[in-house]
């Protein structure tokens, strides 16, 4: 093999290695700075699924419509305003 080819291969390997390590370092920095957006980027953990009590659909907590119950102080999550309103009217009928 020509020696120049060997040098080129060595440089490419080095660049590839640098790329891998710098990516890893960036990810680590992100983790310490703002974990919320980073976990979202990786598509894991942050989006906890909550169940809509009306249509029983599973919704990511961050996108869900929240309703705080006055009596118990618990928070109920809904897929949409529509389900939230339905829940409110149903709760009203119970009383």
Chain positions contacting Zn ion, by CB under 5 A: 52, 54-55, 57, 79, 83
- Smallest separation (angstroms) from Zn ion to the CB of 93: 18
| CB of residue 54 to Zn ion, shortest distance in Å | 5
Q: Of 65, 61, 70, 58, which is closest to residue 84 (Cα–Cα)?
A: 65
Nearest Cα to Cα of residue 83 among 50, 49, 57, 63: 57
Beta-carbon contacts of 47 under 8 Å, excluding residues fewer than 6 positions away, are 40, 60, 61, 62
- CB of residue 94 to Zn ion, shortest distance in Å: 19
């Amino acid at each position: 093999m020509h020696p120049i080819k060997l040098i080129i291969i060595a440089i490419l390997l080095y660049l590839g290695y640098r790329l891998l390590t710098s990516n890893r370092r960036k990810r680590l920095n992100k983790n310490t700075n703002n974990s919320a957006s980073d976990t979202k980027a990786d598509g894991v953990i942050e989006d906890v699924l909550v169940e809509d009590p009306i249509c029983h659909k599973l919704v990511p907590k961050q996108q869900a419509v929240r309703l705080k119950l006055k009596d118990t102080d618990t928070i109920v999550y809904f897929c949409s305003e529509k389900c939230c309103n339905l829940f409110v009217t149903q709760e009203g009928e119970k009383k």
